[in-house]
Amino acid sequence: MTTVSLALSWNPIDWPLTRGAIPRAVLVAGWGSLLFLACYARTRGWWRLRLPAALVTAAGLSLLLDTAVDDWWHPFPEGTPRYVTWWIAVALLGLALVGFRMRGTTLRRKLLAVGAGALVLLMASSQVNRGFDQFPTGRVMLAGWLTKTQDLTTGKAAATVGRPPGKALEDVWQPPADLPNKGTVSSVTFPGTRSGFQSRDGYVYLPPAYQANPRPLLPVVVLLGGQPGTPDDWVLYGQVAEGLDDFAAEHHGLAPIVVMPDQLGSTWNNTLCLDSNIANVQTFLAADVPDWVHNNLQTAEGRKSWAIAGASMGGTCALQLAVNAPEVYGSFLDMSGQDEPTLGSREETVKAAFDGDNAKFDAVDPLQVLARKKFPDTAAAIVVGRDDSEFRPQQEKVFRAVKEAGMQAKYDLMPGGHGWVIFRPGIVGQLPWLARQTGMIR
C-alpha cells in the first residue's frame, strides 16, 4: 500500500498531530509566516518604527505574562516549562507583528497579515502539544464529544471466582463464551463522608470479565491525574480504557478495576493529597474512595489487591498514600512525580497546610516517612522521562528512598520529557506489573 493510498484510507481524525508530516508542515508554515510578518515591508517606517515597536511589545507582554503566571498566580509548583514559555513568546510576537500591520494598509494586506498570524499561533500551539502530547490525534482532541460513558454495574453476582493461595486469578478463571469485547467507563460520585472533601465526579473502568457470571474478584487500581487537571483526563487524553481493553483481550477479559477519583476539587487547586488546612484528601483517598468501592462493587479484598497510581502530582499522591496508608495500598506506581508535596517551596507549603508547623509536615512527608520506617511488603514502580530535567532527579531520589526502606522497587526510564508522552504509554506499559503485584496474573 502506497503512502497516498494509506492516507486516503485512514480516517483524518486519526492522523498524528505530534509526529510525522503534519506537525513538520505546520512548523515550516509558521516560521515562514513569522518571517513574512517581520520582514515584508515597502516603507522604511516599518523597519525604523513598527518592527522595533512590535519586538518591544512582544518582549514586554512575554515578561509580564511570565511574571503574572509564575510569580503572582503560581499555579504550577515547579513553574511553567521553558518550552511553553518560549512558544508563548513566539505567539505573542506574531500577534504583535499583526497588530502593527493593521494601520495604514489595504484590506487585502490586513487579511493576509491575519492569516499569517493565525499560522504562527497554530505553530506555537502545535509545538506545545508536541512537548506535552495531550492531543496526539484529532480523535483524542475530540474525545470529549466522541467518548460515551455507560451506567455503572452495581449489582452483586451470586457466584464469584477468587484467587486461591499460591495462584494467580488467571490460573483459575474460565471466561464464558458470551464475554463482552470491551469494558465499561462510568461517571460516578465519590462522597467525602469521612473526609468532608468535595470532589468532582470521577470515573470507574470495569473490565469485560466483571460482566461475567460467575464474576472474578478483580484487584483495584486507584488512578490519579496531575495538577492542573480534570477527573476525565485519564479517560479522554490518557486513553486508559483503550489500553485496559487491549490488556483484557490478552488475558481472557481480565484487567484491574480502575477507579479514577478527583483529588483536586477544581482544575487549578493543589490539595497536596494531605490531611491539612487545605483539605482532607489523604482521608478521602484512603477511606472514602475504598468505602465507596466496597459498597458498590465486588472486588478482591486486602491491601495486596489494591494499588494506587498517578502521574505528575498524581504520582506524588501515589507515593504519599503508599507510605501514609500502607494498610490500604500494597503497591504503587509513581510516574513523573515529585519528591515531596509542594506548593512551590517548603516554607510556603508548611505555612499554608500546617500553619508553619514543620513537625506536622515532617510526619507525612513521604521521604521522611521512608527514612523512619521499613516497607518490606510494599511494591513500588517509579517511571520518568529520560529528558525530564525537572522531575527525573526527584524520581531518582524517590527510588533510592523506597529501596532503602525495603520496598520491592523498580525504576523505568522512558523516552521523552514530562507529559502525556510519558503518562499514556506509561500506564499501559505498567499494567502487567500492576496485575502481577495484585495477584491477577503471574
- Chain segment 248-300, per-residue pLDDT in tens: 999 999 999 999 999 999 999 999 999 999 999 999 999 999 999 999 999 99
Residue 351 DSSP SS3:
helix
Q: How confident is the model at residue 146 (pLDDT cuts 50, 70, 90)?
A: confident
Tell me how far apart the alpha carbons of residues 335 and 412 are, in angstroms, rounded to a whole number.
9
Q: How confident is the model at residue 1 (pLDDT cuts 50, 70, 90)?
A: very low
pLDDT over 90 percentage in the chain? 87
Can you name the residues that pair with 187 across neighbouring β-strands? 203
Residue with the larger pLDDT of the pair 291 and 105: 291
Which tens digit of pLDDT belongs to each residue from 16-47? 999 999 999 999 999 999 999 999 887 888 99
Q: What confidence score (pLDDT) does residue 70 get? A: 86
Record the cell numbers describing residue 38, joined without a space.
Answer: 517581520
> How large is the average pLDDT for residues 303-323?
98
Q: What confidence score (pLDDT) does residue 176 get? A: 94
Q: What confidence score (pLDDT) does residue 202 get? A: 97
Model confidence at 143: pLDDT above 90: no
Which tens digit of pLDDT belongs to each residue from 360-382? 999 999 999 999 999 999 999 99
Query: Percent helix, strand, coil in the chain (nearest 5)?
Result: 50, 10, 40
Burial of 32 (0-12, 13-18, 19+ CB in 10 A): middle
Q: What confidence score (pLDDT) does residue 154 get? A: 86
Q: What confidence score (pLDDT) does residue 389 get? A: 94
Determine contact, residues 440/167, Cβ cutoff 8 Å.
no
Q: What confidence score (pLDDT) does residue 72 get? A: 86
> How large is the average pLDDT for residues 126-154?
91
Cis peptide before 376 (omega within 30 of 0): no
Model confidence at 434: pLDDT above 60: yes
> How large is the average pLDDT for residues 329-341?
98
> How large is the average pLDDT for residues 344-355?
96
Q: What confidence score (pLDDT) does residue 28 get? A: 97
Residue 1 DSSP SS3:
coil
Tell me how far apart the alpha carbons of residues 245 and 223 are, in angstroms, rounded to a whole number.
16
> How large is the average pLDDT for residues 393-403?
98
Q: What confidence score (pLDDT) does residue 257 get? A: 98
Nearest to residue 382, comparing CAs of 397, 368, 367? 397
Burial of 1 (0-12, 13-18, 19+ CB in 10 A): exposed
> Phi and psi for 202 in degrees, rounded to 5?
-110, -160
Strand pairing category for 202-206 and 184-188:
antiparallel
Domain 153-437 in CATH 3.40.50.1820? The answer is yes
Q: What confidence score (pLDDT) does residue 104 get? A: 80
Residue 272 makes CB contacts below 8 A (sequence gap 6+) with: 278, 281, 341, 342, 343, 349, 353
Mean of the per-residue pLDDT values of the chain: 94
Model confidence at 3: pLDDT above 70: no
> How large is the average pLDDT for residues 46-66?
94
Q: What confidence score (pLDDT) does residue 4 get? A: 52
